[in-house]
Structure 1
C-alpha cells in the first residue's frame, strides 16, 4: 500500500500539469511575478509583480485611495485668487461729495455703470477711458478707477461689484440633475458646491464617480470619498470640467471559494475580508490559506511607493505596460494562516473591478489525479495527506 502511494505521488509530481484546475496555483503566480515574457515562455504574457500585504502596505494603499484628487492635483486647500476675466459683467457705482460733479446731480450723488470686459481685457469708463480689468481683483479694479477719478471728480469713491462671471465657469455634466455651466463665486467653490448647483448627483454617493479635468490633468474619485475626506473636496478653478458618472462598483471573486461571481459592493467602502465573505468565503476543502491574491491595475504613484523606483524601472524594462489610464498591474498577496491577516484584511480597501482569487491547495490536484487514474479511495486519501504534509514541511 505504501509503495503504491509513493508511486502515485511521484506520478503526480511528474505530471500534475495534466490535471484540470480552476486557475493557477500559489507557486505558479509567485513564479511568474517579476518575469519578462521571454522568461515566462509566452511573448504576449503580462509583466506584473507581487506585493505581500502587511500593515504598512495596507495603510499606504488605503491612504492613497482616500486622497486621489488631492494627490493628482497637488493641492486641497485654498480657493486661489479670484480675478476678473474676459466677458465678465461688472457694476461700477461712482459717488461724489459735490452736487455738480461729473457723476452727480442735485438729485443724486452717485451714478451706476454696467460694463462688460472686452476681448482685450479692458472696459471703458466715462471721463476716464479704457481701464484694464482682466487679471485684477475687484478691489484692484476699484483702486485703479478711483485713482483715475481723483483729479476729475469731487471727492470720488467707487464700488465695483460682479454681476455675471462669464470667465469663471465650470462645466458639470453626466449623472446630475441638470448638466450646466456653473458660474463660480468670488469666494471660491468646491467640487460638491458646483455639483449641487447642477442639481446634485442622480445616484448614491458610494456608486458615483467624479472626474475632474483641468488642462492636461485628469483625476477620478468616488463621490463618497470626496464627502468623507475634506481634503478631497478641493476648490475648483475657472475652466474646469467635472463629469459625474453613476457606476455601481463590483469586484470578481474566483478560485477555491464557495461561489465564483461578480459581486456588487452595496456599500460606501469594502475591505478584503468583507469581499471574500460576500462570496461565501473560501472552500475549506480546497483553498490554500496562503494563496489569497488581489489582482489590480494600480496607480503609478502607489506602485513606485511599494516597489521602489529601481524595481519599478526594472519591471518597465522587462515589458510591464500600463492600461489606458496609466495604471500598472500589481498582485497583492495575503497569507491567511497568520492571525494578523484578519487585522490587515480589515484595512486593505477593495476597489472597483478588482479580481480576488483564492488559489486551490496542491493536495486538490493530487486527489484529482488519483481519481482520474482510478486509484482506490484509501490510497487517494493517503496520498493527498502525504502531499499536504510535504508541502507544510517545505514551507
Structure 2
C-alpha cells in the first residue's frame, strides 16, 4: 500500500505540473504593474476606477485631424487652370455690333481652358487664362476687343472648376471625380456630394490619401468630433470602406469567440453579456481585462507619471483591468465603451486549477481504490 501511495503521489504531482491553462491569471498580469513603471515595459496597465473613467469617456480621438493639421488649402484657389469650364458674355452698345444678334446686343460663348492654358474668343483670338482670376481674365478679354467691338462689356463666369478635383471611391452611392469649389470644402461635404455611404455610418471607415500622407477614421468620428472633418485639397483621394466592428473574447467565459457589434455603441458590460457572461466554474471576477492600443495623449491624461515615456503621436498598448467583485465595477463596466478590435479576456480563478487537478486524478483515485479492495 505504501508503494501505491507513493506512486499515486508522484503521478499526482506530475499531473499538477502539467495542468493546461487558458491564459494568464489575474495575479500574473497584476504582477506586471511594477514593470509598467519602468521604461522597458511594452504595455501599460490601467485599473479602471471612478477617478479615470471620466477622463477616458471625455477623450476625443483626434489622431486623424492631427495627421492633416495645417496641410492642404481646403479647396480650389481663385486662379484658373487647365480644364476649367467658363462662360463668356459679351455686350455691345449698338445693335449692329460683332456680337449682337436678332434677340439681343450680346453673345454667350462657352469656353474650356485648353492644355496650353488658353481660350479662344472670336475677334480677340487666343487669350491666356491659366494663372488668372475670373476678374483678371475678364479684363484681358475686354482689352483685346477694344477697337473691334463697339464699347464692349465682358462678363466671365466660372461654370465648373475641373482643374481642381478630388476623387471619391469605394462604398459610396456615386463614386467619381468631384470638382472643388472656390470656397473651403470639408471631408463630409465631398462625401455628401458623392451620395454618402451605402452602409451604416458606424460600420464605414474613411481613408484620406494626400500625397504621402494617409489617415483613416470612422465616418461617425467626422460628426462626433468636428475637428476630424478636415479641409479637402486638390488631388485628394478619398476611400469609403465597409468595415464592421468586432471584438475578441477569450478566457473563462461561456465560449471563446469573435463577436460583431450589433449596435452603434457597446459597453464592456454589454460585451460580457453578449458572450454569455463569466464561466461560474472557472472565472475570476476580479480579473476582467481589456487589451487595446490607445493614443499616448490619453495614457498621459490617465497616468501623468508616464508623460515622458511616449511621443505625442505614438500609440500605446494598454491593458485595462476591472473587478466585478466590487459592485462599483459593474457601474464602471456600464460606462466603459468598447472599440473595434478590442480583446476581452477573463482570467481563471486560482481554485479553477484545483478543479482541473481533481478531474485529472479522479481516474487514479478510482484505480487506487480498486487495487486496495483487491489487496484487502
TM-score, normalised by the number of residues in structure 1: 0.70
Q: Secondary structure at the match of 2:308?
A: helix
Q: Would the alpha carbon gap of residues 189 and 362 (structure 1) be closer, same or farther in structure 2, given more than 3 Å must change?
A: same
1:92 aligns with 2:88: yes
1:278 deviates by: 1.0
1:91 deviates by: 1.7
| Counterpart in the other structure of 2:135 | 142
Residue-by-residue CA offset, 1:176-235 (whole Å, 9 max, x unaligned): 334322233444544444334444433222222221222222222223343455554444
Q: Would the alpha carbon gap of residues 285 and 302 (structure 1) be closer, same or farther in structure 2, given more than 3 Å must change?
A: same
Q: Would the alpha carbon gap of residues 278 and 158 (structure 1) be closer, same or farther in structure 2, given more than 3 Å must change?
A: farther
| Counterpart in the other structure of 2:222 | 226
Q: Of 49, 53, 66, which aligns to 2:48?
A: 53
1:163 aligns with 2:151: no
> Are the counterparts in 2 of residues 172 and 198 from structure 1 also a CA contact under 8 Å?
yes
| Counterpart in the other structure of 1:350 | 338
| Counterpart in the other structure of 1:175 | 171
Runs of 4+ in 1 over 6 A off after TM superposition: none
Distance 2:92 2:299 in 1: 65
> Are the counterparts in 2 of residues 34 and 49 from structure 1 also a CA contact under 8 Å?
no
Q: Would the alpha carbon gap of residues 179 and 149 (structure 1) be closer, same or farther in structure 2, given more than 3 Å must change?
A: closer
1:149 deviates by: 3.2
Q: Of 91, 108, 111, which aligns to 1:112?
A: 108
Structure 2 unaligned regions, length at least 5: 1-8, 366-376
How big is the alpha-carbon RMSD for the aligned residues of Structure 1 and Structure 2?
4.2
| Counterpart in the other structure of 1:386 | none
Q: Bigger shift: 363-372 or 274-283?
A: 363-372
| Counterpart in the other structure of 2:26 | 26
After TM superposition, list the pairs within 5 Å mapping 1:255-294 onto structure 2: 255-294=251-290
Residue-by-residue CA offset, 1:234-273 (whole Å, 9 max, x unaligned): 4433212111111221111111222322111011122222
> Are the counterparts in 2 of residues 226 and 232 from structure 1 also a CA contact under 8 Å?
yes
Distance 2:291 2:276 in 1: 19
After TM superposition, list the pairs within 5 Å mapping 1:331-342 onto structure 2: 331-342=319-330
Distance 1:213 1:61 in 2: 29
TM-score, normalised by the number of residues in structure 2: 0.73
Structure (1 or 2) with the larger CA radius of gyration: 2
Aligned length: 343
1:87 deviates by: 2.1
| Counterpart in the other structure of 2:310 | 312
